[in-house]
């Protein structure tokens, strides 16, 4: 019981750290967008965490971790504490829940925090021009249904976990980050660019209103990743948690440094926003294999992620897609890289593992692209997903919420 208590306390601390990441996402997104849309961005982030947790209680948890299913989708019980898991410490067959590492309730709360993160990724990519109502509908469907079904394929012991060489994703480079990244890509494509983003086919810089807030957000996210990856060990095992946090931090540091160096070489300036996104890219990339990589592996994975960030953001601009916070490059491109890196570096490196990683990536690409396209395209053709030109120019805070985030401070940020 003493070991269970220690493990469970560590898991609850990690749950709190992952919850704190929503503060980081909020500050990053408002910092990289304009003052006139601050309240709108914050509203979306608060909606995601509150409704996301309720949806995970109603259907998501049991849909993602079914007691029995065909490996692709299960008909879930509703609510938690129902079905086969009546006791916080034991399964229906009397075996220890979570191998005796944590309780049923802790498991629900920890996994629930992950579920909300996927939609937060989309929030930043579609900032400053999406209608709040359709976005809320998307969150309900994507977080409530699509994310847990996709998650069950690996973490719920589905078909990707049952392959001869199982697909591996330790803490969610694919299951969380690319699930959000694919949806962000589809949403940005269907939504269109912000007014003024492209002139004569060339991308224009639309400055965010507070780089200090964005920087604070990234540092908070880095701190939260101690829970995101550290909690995914699912115990307080000293050796595993320690190496996981070491690889996580080294990948973040190298990602930031190499993004800054690459950006400086290409564009002849010291771009802090690229530095910040490089840190996040390193964190996303190491997440798939943080527990099985050496410190040296982590530095290589993070460094390449930092390089990919710079070229990824340039590619997004070249495709005339508008992603105000760089979410697609960070979460999708670096999520894919980190997932493939499991087959290249670390304990599982090998051709069979690399193929399994490719199968996993392809599977998640299919479900995420198809489902998000159906949801968003349907909303676009029925209720519409984009605010009017006047609303976009004057700001979503006033038109969608009837107030300003900074009522005593006025600035022309059109």
CA–centroid distance for 74 within its chain: 24
> Which pLDDT does position 270 carry in this prediction?
95
Q: What is the pLDDT of residue 407?
A: 86
Give the DSSP H or E segment for 184.
helix 179-191
Can you tell me the mean pLDDT for 211-236? Answer: 96
Three-class SS of residue 203? Answer: strand
Structure tokens at 225: 């990743």
DSSP conformation letters of 126-172: TTTTB-HHHHHHHHHHIIIIIHHHHHHTTTTS-TTTSSSS----SS-
Distances (CA, A) of 223 to 63, 165, 300, 305: 30, 33, 21, 19
CA 155-157-160 angle, 5° bins: 85
Measured in degrees and rounded to the nearest 5, phi and psi for residue 202 equal -105, 135
Of residues 268 and 89, the one with the higher pLDDT is 268
The pLDDT score that the predictor gives to residue 414 is: 47
Mind listing the pLDDT tens digit for each residue in 269-320?
A: 999 999 999 999 999 999 999 999 999 999 999 999 999 999 999 999 999 9
DSSP-H helix ranges across 192-347: 211-230, 238-267, 272-286, 295-318, 327, 334-341
- Tens of pLDDT along 47-78? 999 999 999 999 999 999 987 888 898 877 77
Band (396; pLDDT cuts 50, 70, 90): very high
Give pLDDT, residue 83: 46
The pTM for the full model equals 0.94
CATH number attached to the domain at 2-401:
1.10.3430.10
Mean model confidence pLDDT for the chain: 93
Chain position carrying tokens 């700001």: 395
Q: How confident is the model at residue 82 (pLDDT cuts 50, 70, 90)?
A: low
Domain spans of the chain, in order of start: 2-401
pLDDT at 44 over 80: yes
pLDDT of residue 69: 85
Q: Say yes or no to pLDDT of 410 above 70.
A: no
């Amino acid at each position: 019981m003493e070991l269970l208590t220690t493990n469970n306390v560590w898991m609850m601390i990690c749950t709190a750290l992952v919850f704190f990441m929503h503060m980081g996402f909020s500050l990053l997104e408002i910092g990289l967008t304009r003052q006139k849309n601050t309240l709108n961005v914050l509203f979306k982030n608060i909606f995601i965490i509150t409704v996301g947790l309720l949806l995970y209680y109603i259907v998501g948890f049991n849909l993602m971790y079914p007691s029995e299913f065909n490996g692709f989708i299960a008909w879930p019980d509703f609510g938690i504490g129902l079905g086969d898991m009546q006791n916080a410490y034991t399964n229906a067959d009397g075996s220890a829940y979570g191998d005796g590492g944590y309780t049923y309730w802790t498991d629900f709360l920890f996994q629930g925090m992950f579920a909300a993160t996927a939609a937060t990724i989309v929030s930043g990519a579609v900032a400053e021009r999406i209608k709040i109502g359709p976005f809320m509908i998307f969150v309900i469907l994507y977080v409530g249904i699509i994310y847990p079904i996709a998650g069950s394929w690996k973490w719920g012991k589905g078909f990707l976990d049952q392959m001869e060489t199982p697909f591996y994703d330790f803490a969610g480079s694919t299951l969380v980050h690319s699930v959000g990244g694919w949806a962000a890509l589809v949403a940005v494509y269907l939504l269109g660019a912000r007014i003024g983003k492209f002139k004569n086919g060339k991308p224009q810089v639309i400055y965010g209103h507070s780089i200090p807030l964005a920087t604070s957000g990234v540092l908070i996210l880095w701190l939260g990743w101690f829970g995101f990856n550290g909690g995914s060990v699912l115990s307080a095992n000293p050796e595993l948690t320690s190496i996981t946090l070491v690889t996580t931090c080294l990948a973040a540091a190298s990602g930031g440094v190499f993004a800054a160096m690459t950006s400086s070489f290409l564009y002849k300036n010291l771009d802090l926003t690229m530095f910040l996104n490089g840190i996040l890219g390193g964190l996303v990339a190491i997440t798939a294999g943080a527990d099985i990589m050496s410190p040296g592996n982590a530095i290589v994975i993070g460094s390449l992620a930092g390089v990919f960030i710079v070229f990824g953001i340039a590619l997004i601009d070249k495709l005339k897609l508008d992603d105000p916070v760089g979410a697609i490059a960070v979460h999708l491109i670096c999520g894919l890289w980190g997932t493939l890196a499991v087959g290249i570096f670390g304990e599982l490196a090998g051709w069979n593992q690399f193929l399994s990683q490719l199968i996993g990536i392809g599977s998640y690409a299919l479900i995420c692209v198809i489902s998000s396209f159906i949801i968003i395209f349907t909303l676009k053709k029925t209720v519409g997903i984009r605010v009017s030109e006047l609303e976009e120019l004057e700001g979503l805070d006033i038109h969608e919420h009837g107030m300003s985030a900074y009522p005593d401070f006025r600035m022309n940020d059109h």
